[in-house]
Each structure stands twice: as structure tokens, then as C-alpha cells.
Amino acid sequence: MARDTLCSVNLVEYIFQAPAKLGLWPKSAILFEDEEISYQQLLHQTLRFVSALRSLNIAEGERVAIVARDCPEFVISFLGTIAAAAVAVPVSTMATAAELQYVLEHCGARAVVLTSDQIEKLRSVRQNLPELEHLLLIDGEADGALKFDEALAGSNESEVVDVADDALAFILYTSGSTGRPKGAMHIHRNLPYTVETFCKNVLKVQPEDRLFSSSRLFFAYGLGNSLSFPLATGATAVLCKERPTPAVITEVFRKFQPTVFFGVPAVFRALIESVAQGNFLKTSSIKFCVSAGEKLPERIFHEWKELTGLNILDGIGSTEMLQMFITNSRDEIKPGSSGRVVPGYEARLIDPYGREIRGAGKGDLLIKGGSASPGYWKNPEKTAEIMTGEWMRTGDIYRLDEEGFYWFEGRSDDIFKTKGLWVSPIEVEEALHSCPEVSEAAVVYGTDEDGIGIVVAYVVLKDEIHETHGIAERLRERVSALLPSYKIPSEIHFIKELPRTATGKIQRYKLRQGGKKG
């Protein structure tokens, strides 16, 4: 890909190329609740945020965390931080207090931009974060926090700072096999690469499009869907701060009439079920839909197609690669598959001995492309585990057919995704082990009757426990106090003993066989 199509300086300049070249400054960049923010307003606010950071003595390369629901201020903070040559660190609003503390401590955040729903969680760990000096509160008031609007109102506009295209721009944290979040670093040229390859060439987003994503901005998937894809093409981002329930999504469709909808399999299923219950869903404005996060079951594809007449383009991406690198296209879809390799990326399947599998076959998927993370923040060991030269190990097992379509066959390790989010079995098992009734526990990936991924737990109760009635719900209640909702087991099975190898290792594959319904 030609270098002049990408950014050779600060990626924020790349983002605003489309409105500048096409004369779209008065056009709506963001629609949010009753607000319409033009490209001109967004640029002004971004440059004021640069000035606000300078007044707080945030230096180039220092980290600014964003712990906020989707809103214009998230976009302004993200772009403004990067424009100042600092490093943006979006953090999941679903993180527990302990997870939040770990991420903020690990990245060494000097400032946090947050919404009021996160303030109590942050306060509970603030004393353990000596490097954290500044809080910028988007909504409401709180002691020790600077109001976001006031910080911008008191600032002049600063210029975007020139940087090398391999300078660090942002860090996205993802959970690994130990359950500890890992910070995937991304440099200034990574994000533009995803726009030029997937957004423009596969999705073919145009300035007249309106993009809405059920996945939040703090995810790599949502960051592209709701920020870089619409803004870098002169289109419009539709943002919603509410949890994406069927009722909320239905209202967004009605009010804002998006033309492209990004979801995950569980969201599409929930919408199908909502309509089956008699609720109305207006999809007439939508051209097509996109799904990622986990495999889209073929059944869900066909039910959605029958219900709405719309195709769902399923594919695979990752936090480390930032966006989709294998996907179905608007022109050709094989339901149940992840599609073909996105032009600009290369894929390779290898056998257990590391040998490349030529042509059709099944093996571990490696990927190469210009959006690849240079590694994990302060974690060279984990970086070495996933990187083989320019190739990144995805941890997924795929089958390649004769027509070049890739079919997901499972994970090559024990971690898995449910609702598009990573789950570490070890972390859930530790939470279950904290329950007084539990002797042993093993957690595996399973699927429900629709083929949607779920968390399945197998529990060995202590000898003195003879009655299982009501125990599953008690275990879920206790675990829910320790973990985010998507990590809570959907199914809990009580067994006498866990299957183990001769050396004492749990044979998870035997449990996984019992956890699949589809």
C-alpha cells in the first residue's frame, strides 16, 4: 500500500483529511442524543483538549486513560491526547476496581478522563495510584476532579504535534491466558492502515453513511466502527452511552437511521428474539451489518436475513491487529465462515510443528499486516509468545477451503470469547474456588442452542454438600461480586470429579465436549 495514503505524521491529521479535502467541515461528524457535532466543532474541541493537557503538564509520551461510556467527549479525549503526542489508553467501563487499578498502575496514567458512573470505582483505588494526578470528569461533579467542559472552555486551540509514524499513539488492554490484562501498543500508522484496507476497500464507507456500533469505543472493534471509520471517510458516527439492549438499539435505529450497523452474534440474536416477542425493529435505513468478536452461527445469519433482508458480514480481528483481517465482503458471503483475507494482510496456517500448510487445510492461524501491534506494553515475554518475526499468532485454529474462505475451528489455547469479550478460565475458576461450597472447578467454552459462546463451569462440591438445589444461583451471586457480568457462568454443572491426565492436569477437552449444544 502506498505510503502517501497513510499518515506519515500524527494520525489525527489523517483523521481530518477527509473533511478537509471534501469540504465537509459543516457536516455532522457525531450524532449523540440531541447533539450534532460538526467536523469543524470536533476539530476545535480536539485542539482545545491538546491545550488543556499542556496546562496540566502532560508531556509527550505520557499516558492519559479514558474510562467513559460512548460520548463525544470520549472521541475528543482520544484524538486530543494523540494530537498532543501523548498516549491514549481507553479502559473498559466494565472493569472491576481491581482491574481498573491494575491497568492505570501498569500504564502509569498521569490523567484519567471519566464519566460519573466510574467515579466511585476509581475513588476506591485512587490511594494506590501515586502517578495519577488529574481527573477530568465528563458529567456531574466530584471532589478533586476538573470538569471536562471547563477545562476546554479555559483553553485556547493548540496545534497537532508532529510525530514519527512509528511513535506510540494508544494502548488497548486485552485479557490474556492468565487473566491479567495485556496492553497492546499501537503506533500512529496502525489505525490509518485499517481504514484504508477494511473500511474503504471492504466496507466501502462513503461520506453519506451513518455508522452505529453496539460494541463500545474502548474496544478495538468499536474504536474503528465509531471513530476512525466514520471520521476518516467523512461519514457520521452515531454514539449511544446506554447499554446496547434491544430496546436501546431499536430506538437508535428509529431516531438516527444508521446505514451500517456493527454488532456481535449475541446482539443479533437478542434483536431477533425481541422481534419474535412482538417488538418492532425498523431497519429500512441500513445497507448491511457487520459482526465480529466471535464466530457468527450460520443459523443467526439466516434468521437475521429472513427477518430484515440484510446481510451480516462476519469476520475475525483482534486487539493486537486492531481490526478485521479476515472477513466476508459485501459482494460474496459464505454463511458460517469468517470470509477471505482482507487485501493488505497475509494469512498463514501452520501445523503443530510450525510447518506451513500449503493450500486447503487446518492449522494455527498466523497473520501479518500493517496494523499489527509492535507488542505489549512492559511485557516482552508475552510479546515474544505471539510474534514470530512479522507474523502474529492469533491463537485460533482455522480451516481454509478450496475457495479461499476461512472457517473457525476453535482456540489453540484455553482462553475463549463470549459476547465478543475474552474470558480466562483460570480467573473464573479462582472466583469459584473462593466460594465455601466448592472443592474444585474447571471452566470451559461452550455454546448454547443457537451456537452462541457461553461460559460453562464444572464444579466439584465439598464432601459435606449433598444437596445441590439453589447452589448454582448462590455461586453466580458470589462470582458476580468479583467478576464482570460476561464472565459469569451461564451453565454450572455439578460432577463428582474433574477428568485429569496421569500428571494431574485437567482434561479440558473432555469438558468442552459436554459444553456444546449446537
Residue 465's pLDDT is 86
All three cell numbers of 62, joined, read: 505520557
Strands (E), 75-205: 87-90, 111-114, 134-137, 146-147, 168-175, 181-187
Query: 258-287 pLDDT, tens per residue?
Result: 999 999 988 998 999 999 999 999 999 999
Q: Are strands 391-400 and 361-369 parallel, antiparallel or unpaired?
A: antiparallel
Match 451461564 to its residue by C-alpha cell. Answer: 490
All three cell numbers of 362, joined, read: 487446518
- pLDDT range class, residue 505, cuts 50, 70, 90: low
Question: What is the C-alpha R_g of the chain?
Answer: 23
Residue 516's pLDDT is 60
pLDDT at 412 over 50: yes
How far, in Å, CA of 496 to CA of 489, rounded? 19
Residue 513's pLDDT is 78
Residue 512's pLDDT is 84
pLDDT at 455 over 60: yes
Query: 458-474 pLDDT, tens per residue?
Result: 999 988 888 889 999 99
Mean of pLDDT values over 234-256: 98
Query: 330-360 pLDDT, tens per residue?
Result: 999 999 999 999 999 999 999 988 999 998 9
Helix 265-276 vs helix 298-308: crossing angle, to nearest 10: 50
Residue 502's pLDDT is 52
- Which is nearest to 247 in space by CA: 218, 225, 222, 267? 267
Match 472552555 to its residue by C-alpha cell. Answer: 153
- Give me the DSSP letters along 419-481: TTEEE-HHHHHHHHHTSTTEEEEEEEEEE-TTS-EEEEEEEEEPTT----TTHHHHHHHHHHT
- pLDDT range class, residue 5, cuts 50, 70, 90: very low
Kindly give, in sequence order, each residue whose CB lies less than 8 Å from that of residue 384, ignoring residues fewer than 6 positions away.
none
Per the CB < 8 A criterion, the answer to whether 298 and 265 are in contact is: no
How far, in Å, CA of 452 to CA of 418, rounded? 8
Match 500524527 to its residue by C-alpha cell. Answer: 10
pLDDT at 326 over 80: yes
All three cell numbers of 206, joined, read: 462513503
All three cell numbers of 112, joined, read: 484519567
- pLDDT range class, residue 218, cuts 50, 70, 90: very high
How far, in Å, CA of 458 to CA of 59, rounded? 49
Residue 517's pLDDT is 59
Match 499513539 to its residue by C-alpha cell. Answer: 169
Query: 11-61 pLDDT, tens per residue?
Result: 999 999 999 999 999 999 999 999 999 999 999 999 999 999 999 999 999
Q: Which domains can be identified in the chain, with CATH numbers?
A: 1-165 (3.40.50.980), 188-413 (3.40.50.12780), 424-514 (3.30.300.30)
Mean of pLDDT values over 180-207: 97
Residue 3's pLDDT is 40
Mean of pLDDT values over 196-208: 98
Q: Is 470 exposed, middle or buried (0-12, 13-18, 19+ CB in 10 A)?
A: exposed
Query: 357-386 pLDDT, tens per residue?
Result: 998 998 999 999 999 999 999 999 999 999
pLDDT at 127 over 70: yes
Per the CB < 8 A criterion, the answer to whether 50 and 149 are in contact is: no
Kindly give, in sequence order, each residue whose CB lies less than 8 Å from that of residue 470, ignoring residues fewer than 6 positions away.
none
Query: 50-95 pLDDT, tens per residue?
Result: 999 999 999 999 999 999 999 999 999 999 999 999 999 999 999 9
How far, in Å, CA of 222 to CA of 304, rounded? 21
How far, in Å, CA of 301 to CA of 113, rounded? 38
Question: 442 φ, ψ to 5°?
Answer: -135, 135
Per the CB < 8 A criterion, the answer to whether 50 and 83 are in contact is: yes
pLDDT, mean over the chain: 93
How far, in Å, CA of 411 to CA of 429, rounded? 19
